[in-house]
Each structure stands twice: as structure tokens, then as C-alpha cells.
């Protein structure tokens, strides 16, 4: 009896889970966006059921993006927010680096939403898994009011990628942090203190990876006073020749930011993508309604799928170049 009752209860649980899952996926397919408001900084549920901006919290989100683009690391931003007694999305006093990174990478702050990023694998254990193509994902553009403009959001994503490839990137309160690069290994220079407990105490800057590489970098340390003087000399030189430097400024910007060639290539690949997707659809449809040799069908399908993936990768590469 216990076994039978347990089976019925489990079946009921499965049925409820399937109904809830169907409802959620239907909402995703319809492009309806919801947020975990209690743990999401900057938004509350509006009267129409859509996210509404809380301006007081939105100021904090904008500050995080601004500090990151000014050169601060996520851990540095977390420390800054904790010191200034700004509460986390969960209402805690201490900020974690992971929370800052999550805010910097969440597309919902630019007014868009990727739906079904994860899904429940087992209705009994409630175990969740990141969606890696097992079920459909939906991208809804302009689904709700944006706190961060799309250009700033894209700049932050580009900066995150750039820093991942940079060696020894650290920031501090100094204006030179993250600005001086070792000419030998490409790592950043960081500040160190020599003779910290004596009257000869001095702040120097040296390669952060100097003693981490197989061979020690031969680039020399720099006294902070020397660095400051070098900066003043360089800045003064710019001021003296500013008319000459600014003369062709607009033309230079137009040339550097001209993406017309890339736009043309992107549009061509976008069309090829649509054609490729349509060919795959027709191939699958033909196999569903006609008796085909399955070995030949599989070979044809794999060829079309491979071509489609290559076109997609090419399109992603062009979008990266456009952003740069």
C-alpha cells in the first residue's frame, strides 16, 4: 500500500512539475520577462507586471559600470561599495566580487533579456543545469526599461574580455594603476614599497609578473617621482601642440570608427545564415515526410549544420571587430 501511495504521489508531483514547466516555457516563448526582484538591484515589479526602475538603486548600478570602465577591478568596486555602506541586492552590508561581476554581465540592465538560461533536470531533486542547447533559449530585445545604455554595456563586455587576456592587471587608488605595461612580457606594472620601515622608504613601480615568468623581465623598476615627472612632461607636450593634435581629430575618429566594410560583410553573412537555417529546416522536413536513405540524410544534414555553424562563427568574429 505504501509503495502504491508513494508511486501515486510521485506521479502527481511529476504532473504538477510538467504543468509548471510548460507554463514557464510558454511565457518564455511569448517573450514575457520576470525578475527575482528581491535579489535584483535596480528593478521592482510594476503595475503592468513588467520590471520598473528604482532610481535610487539604479544610481548604484550606473556607478558600478562607471567605476569598471574607469579601470577598477570587480574586487575593488566591491570594496568601494562596502566602505560606502551601500547594501547588496540581498540587503547585506558586505559586497562580494561575484555579485559585482554578475551585475556587469547581466544583459537585463540594458533592457534586454535572455530567457531560459538554465532549466530543472529532475523534478524530484529540483537540480538545475545551465542550458547548453538542450532546450530553446529566447532573446527578447527592449523587453523593459534600461538602466545602462547598450553602448556602455557592450564596452564593459569588451573590457572584461580584454582584461582576461591581460597579465597582472590590478588597480589601486593610484592614477597609474592599469596604465603602465611591461615592454618585455606585456604584463602591467604595479606599485611596491621599498624600505617600508626606514627613512629611505620609497614607492616604486615594477612589472607584476617580473618574478613569475620563467625568465625574469629585464625592464627596470621606476621611482614614483620619476613616473610623475614623465607624465607631466608628456602632458605638457600635448598642451603645447594641442592645436596641431586636434586639427584632424574628427577625421581620425571617423576613420577609426568606420565599420561600413564590416557592416557589409555582416549583412552578407546574416543572409547566408538565414539561407543555411532554411536549408536545414527543409532537409529535416523532407526526412520526416519522405523515405530517405538515413546514412545519406545524416551526411547531408551534418554538412549543412557544419556550414551553418561556420557562418555563425564568422558573424560573431565580425561583430567582435565592429565592437573593437
Q: What is the pLDDT of residue 237?
A: 84
**Range of weakest confidence among 26-30, 214-218, 248-252, 297-301:** 26-30
**pLDDT over threshold 70, residue 30:** no
Task: Indicate if the alpha-carbon torsion angle 22, 24, 28, 32 is positive or negative.
Answer: positive
Strand partners, 51: 45
Task: Report d(CA 165, CA 103) in Å as an integer.
Answer: 21
Q: What is the pLDDT of residue 119?
A: 65
Q: pLDDT tens digits, residue range 254-293? A: 888 888 899 999 999 999 988 988 999 898 888 888 888 8
Q: Phi/psi at 137 (nearest 5 deg)?
A: -110, 150
SS3 320: helix
Strands 118-120 and 128-130: antiparallel
Q: What is the pLDDT of residue 230?
A: 92
- Cell numbers given for 179: 596604465
**pLDDT over threshold 60, residue 22:** no
**Range of weakest confidence among 59-63, 111-115, 314-318:** 111-115
| Residue that wins the pLDDT comparison between 204 and 214 | 204
Q: pLDDT tens digits, residue range 88-107? A: 998 899 999 999 999 999 99
H-helix or E-strand spanning residue 118: strand 118-120
**pLDDT over threshold 80, residue 170:** no
**pLDDT over threshold 80, residue 165:** no
- Cell numbers given for 224: 614614483
**Mean pLDDT score across all residues of the chain:** 84
Task: Report d(CA 266, CA 281) in Å as an integer.
Answer: 22
Q: pLDDT tens digits, residue range 128-158? A: 777 666 667 777 888 888 999 999 999 999 8
| Mean pLDDT calculated for residue range 115-135 | 68
Q: What is the pLDDT of residue 139?
A: 75
Q: What is the pLDDT of residue 156?
A: 93
Q: What is the pLDDT of residue 122?
A: 67
| Mean pLDDT calculated for residue range 205-228 | 87
Q: What is the pLDDT of residue 109?
A: 93
Task: Indicate if the alpha-carbon torsion angle 212, 218, 224, 230 is positive or negative.
Answer: negative
| Mean pLDDT calculated for residue range 178-193 | 86
- Cell numbers given for 209: 609578473
Radius of gyration over every alpha carbon of the chain, rounded to an integer in angstroms: 27
**pLDDT over threshold 80, residue 221:** yes
End-to-end CA distance of the chain: 67
**Range of weakest confidence among 2-16, 180-194, 212-226:** 2-16
**pLDDT over threshold 80, residue 228:** yes
Amino acid at each position: 500500500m505504501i509503495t502504491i501511495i508513494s508511486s501515486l504521489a510521485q506521479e502527481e508531483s511529476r504532473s504538477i512539475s510538467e504543468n509548471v514547466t510548460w507554463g514557464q516555457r510558454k511565457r518564455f516563448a511569448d517573450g514575457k520577462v520576470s525578475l527575482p526582484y528581491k535579489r535584483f538591484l535596480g528593478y521592482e515589479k510594476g503595475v503592468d507586471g513588467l520590471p520598473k526602475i528604482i532610481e535610487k538603486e539604479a544610481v548604484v548600478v550606473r556607478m558600478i559600470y562607471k567605476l569598471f570602465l574607469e579601470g577598477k577591478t570587480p574586487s575593488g568596486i566591491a570594496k568601494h561599495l562596502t566602505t560606502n555602506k551601500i547594501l547588496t541586492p540581498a540587503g547585506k552590508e558586505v559586497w562580494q566580487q561575484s555579485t559585482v561581476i554578475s551585475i556587469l554581465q547581466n544583459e537585463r540592465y540594458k533592457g534586454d533579456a535572455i530567457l531560459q538560461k538554465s532549466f530543472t533536470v529532475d523534478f524530484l531533486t529540483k537540480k538545475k543545469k545551465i542550458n547548453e542547447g538542450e532546450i530553446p533559449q529566447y532573446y527578447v530585445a527592449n523587453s523593459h526599461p534600461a538602466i545602462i545604455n547598450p553602448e556602455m554595456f557592450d564596452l564593459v563586455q569588451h573590457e572584461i574580455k580584454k582584461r582576461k587576456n591581460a597579465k597582472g592587471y590590478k588597480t589601486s587608488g593610484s592614477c597609474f594603476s592599469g596604465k603602465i605595461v611591461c615592454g618585455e612580457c606585456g604584463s602591467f606594472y604595479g606599485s611596491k614599497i621599498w624600505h617600508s620601515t626606514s627613512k629611505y622608504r620609497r614607492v616604486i613601480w615594477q612589472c607584476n609578473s617580473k618574478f613569475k615568468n620563467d625568465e625574469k623581465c629585464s625592464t627596470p623598476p621606476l621611482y614614483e617621482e620619476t613616473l610623475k615627472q614623465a607624465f607631466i612632461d608628456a602632458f605638457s607636450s600635448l598642451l603645447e601642440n594641442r592645436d596641431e593634435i586636434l586639427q584632424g581629430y574628427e577625421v581620425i575618429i571617423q576613420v577609426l570608427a568606420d565599420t561600413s566594410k564590416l557592416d557589409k560583410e555582416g549583412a552578407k553573412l546574416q543572409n547566408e545564415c538565414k539561407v543555411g537555417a532554411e536549408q536545414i529546416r527543409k532537409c529535416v522536413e523532407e526526412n520526416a515526410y519522405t523515405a530517405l536513405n538515413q546514412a545519406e540524410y545524416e551526411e547531408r544534414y551534418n554538412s549543412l549544420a557544419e556550414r551553418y555553424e561556420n557562418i555563425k562563427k564568422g558573424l560573431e568574429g565580425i561583430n567582435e571587430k565592429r565592437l573593437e
